[in-house]
Structure 1
Amino acid sequence: MLRIFLSIFRARAIIGIMDAYAILPYKGLVEIASETGRELKLDLKIFEGETEEAIPFAMDAQKRGADCIISRGGTASIIERYVNVPIVRVPVSELDLLRILYPLKGLDRKILVVGFRNAVFRARSAARVLGLQIQELPIPYEAADYNFDHIRRSAEHLIRHHGIDTIIGDQTAFINLRSYCESQYLITSSKDDFLTALRNSQLLNTDGQREQQDQIQVVLNAVQEGIISTDTHGRVTSFNIKAAEIFGMEPGMVIGASLDELAGYFRDFEELKSTISLTLRNGNPESIQLSRPKGPEVYEINSAPLVSQKGIHGTVTTIIRSSHAHSGKSAGNKHPSAGTFNTHYSFKDILGRDEAFVRVLAVARAYTMTDATILIEGESGVGKEMFAQSIHASGPRKEGPFVAVNCASIPEPLLESELFGYEQGAFTGASRAGQKGLFELADGGTLFLDEISEIDQKMQMNLLRVLEERRIRRIGSDRLRDVDVRVIAASNRDLRKLIDENHFRPDLFYRLNLLNLHIPALRERKADIPLLAEHFFTQFCRHYGGKEVRLTEDILNRLRCYPWPGNIRELKNIMERTALTIATRCLELSDLEIITRELNNSLSSRSSRINELSFCGTLNTIKHQAAESALQAAGYNKSHAARMLGIDRSTLDRLLDPRD
């Protein structure tokens, strides 16, 4: 079968010109399209229209025999419902997001990014490089389920609970959410993005070749194997209906994207990317098995190079359901590194030699052989999920799925359906086939509930019932389903304090806290700071192709003294930005300038937040509040807190004493 598809793909050509339509949501993109069309001498019919306004243009284009319609974002999703013409989407690049996010660096904004998953992924990547924290609200790809009322309610929840003051989104989000924030930024596309859409639309085909392409696409969509082809750069050029079904993705959002980009957001692609990359690199066919998290299926992946006299010019990969797949729980995770619901870390990936940390590691290893619920506590960035994955990967459930969910990242209206699933027609916009919840998907394995402190009282009660009964009920169903799941929960907040404040149910706490693991903050592991810093720095220097230089003892001392309020995550980000700066600017790591600037920026940012705080009460109360706030902002390093307030250490100790 693979030989047949190799013959088909070798026959594909990419020369010539044809007519097409572009329906674009804002004036700037219309101008880019017009300029590009003139330069390439394309008979490109261009209309400006957003969301529902674009529907008449699309229907008229279909009547006039359009071969494809180029559009973007929410507008593309809406017109896709009304016409049978292929919709080619203008992609969003990481540079597009960097242009928007860079001016926000250092302004202490609460940012919400609303967009399709590829845009949200690129925003996340850009924000990480810039050291920004963002809230994310991805819009589902499935056009039939596209309902902005649902997105609007989720946005309202995030704005209300996270103090959002800046929204970044596409034109659809820009219009629908304009009343929620004064500060809004439109995600715009560049000329390169539009050129990518032109390439994906196959506009460079002659009439005869276009007919051939149509015939090929019919063949690809008719077969029962998933088919994915890439070019020499690892960009997806074909993605048939069966592949879309296997991965649960819209072909229009995958074609034109690189495997690196897809693997960064969809973990299902990680193993696939490695296999195809190996084929491109060595020119030999490669085969693996890939487990799917949304069911017990195991698929055989066969990747082969597309070779001509000029060398390798791409790959074609078939995805076939394995005839040797086992039923039940183990089949879903035959290869633990593949699939969204599998572990990527084990205990060998956890670095540390601090005595207290080594003891915590020993306790975690002891927990692997029990099925009891575990509560992992620790500040944000200490590696709680890494411990959860390691416990799962070393225990008797390691052949089962590991399903992770961040409770704070999912709006309250969606969390119940995400955890417990829903039946057909349970609510507006629900999938026609219903959907399994994460408890069902974790059956036979482990469910990791991160930031458990952020769920509301109703969800706490529902979760308690599931933990006690080991059964779930989907939304819209009367049927109870048994689930065999080990639960590991994590929190960066003090749940005991939340119980005292009536924000967390004590019965749920006791049910979760059967086994407890407290991971120390990085500032409490000073012996591990040089070890981790050198590990991350070397890793990122290799990744970005920069010179591998060693951190000096002077730099390591600075790192030891820094309070690390963001813990390992902050250390990793600073090492990445430093390695990236050295690689892209050809700088030397000297005079501490690069790292010192990073550390000072972080300290000054927290210090400015202290200055903005307002206090009330008696003078002594205000002093005590200021001291506590400074201590928190300094990552509980008293020397740094005292420096922020301009006092000595003994004075700070006196202000912190509640009896004083």
Structure 2
Amino acid sequence: MADFRALLISPYHDLVDVAREVAPDYPELEVTVHEGDLSKGLAAALGSIDSDFDVVISRGGTAQMLEDELSLPVIEIDVSATDLLEALARHNPQGRRTAVIGFSNALRAVSEVADFSDFDLDVYGVSFEDELPIVLEDVASGDYEVILCDSFSRDACAERGMTAHLLSSGARSVSDALRRALDLCQQTREVRTQNHVLWQLVRSLPPRVALFSGSGRLVYTNLTERRPELLGYLREHLGGEKDEHLALQRGRRTYRISKSTFEQDGEAYLSFSIMTSSAPSNESLAGIERRNRDAVERSYHESVFRAVGAGEELSAQISGALRAGRPIALEGEVGTGKARIAELVYLTGPWTSRPLVTIDCPLLTDRSWGYLMDSPNSPLYGSGETLWVKAVHALDDDAARRLVDVMRQTGICERDRVIVSANDSEDATEGSVISLFVEYLRCHVLT
């Protein structure tokens, strides 16, 4: 049985065959091979990172990308002088003028050959993908008869109608990378054993976890369900507040995400804890919506209300209402910006690290009303959130009284920041509904 596990990401197909041919020479290493260049290689690695690998092996730009994104050690497969000479013998036996293109980290040995040999050879190394078009323009104007390059550059050359040949890494280069990977694993055996024990412990705990370094590298995750989509969503929230609570719903699944930060040996880390639950049917959630801070900010900042500076005129009133610590009631005619004011109250308040929960009364169905009143997962039984009960004028008197009673009984106004809004109307019934909330919940009224 192998002592260590290595994940080899091959940027091109032929390297897969070479790796599988060489791997049996290292029985201490269990080598898993996936094919994928650059972002595809990264996706393959991210899809396997929870499989207890000790080391990752790749080449060129793919290795560079993996090193930036993963916390596991990355061993690079080199392009050796022997690999270069074999490529020249195969594709340029007449010794014609040759350009070599690729990621600089894979071309160190090639550059040395170019510097100290009589070959008519120019090396064009790139560090980032967006540098390649400029390099190809130089090569196209350089009157080169032969082009040797990596797989990414070869595809780009083909798009420009330029004939290029793949500069492959041979069996000796792959073997050298496997040997260095094995040496590293043996040197760090004790530390990695301790890490494996900790990862197994974390994996057995109920919440799913994703841990990122301060630079955005994925250190660990035990996510399995909707893994690429969730990791992409978490990456969008690496910035912002240090401690944050998010909500994400996909189909019938609800993901409640808690973000926290900590430091270890002077480096910052971001941890996401993900709790998953089966959401009720869509009909049960009709009229109930959760929006994270970024969505609320986008809605508010793109509004005409903000563009005309209306929020600035209300800032003093909103600050005063927040200091009062009571529920806030918003009254006004249709089109007076109550929705934007509610968003501004949320964004100005202390709980933007948690979602804004909206109960849109006109959209409630019999089933969602039952969910709201009776389900233990109802937002009326939550805490530490901003709850906006929107358009209460749409409720009949009995429903309004029951909602007020439940809000009082659950103490939601003490646990959450509560906003209630209604349209002004000459209809006394509508006026009495908002008055009911104002009176019994002791609301601070903004008009």
**TM surpasses 0.5:** no
| TM-score, structure 1 normalization | 0.27
Higher relative contact order (CA closer than 8 Å, sequence separation 6+) = 2
| TM-score, structure 2 normalization | 0.38
Structure having the higher strand fraction is: 2
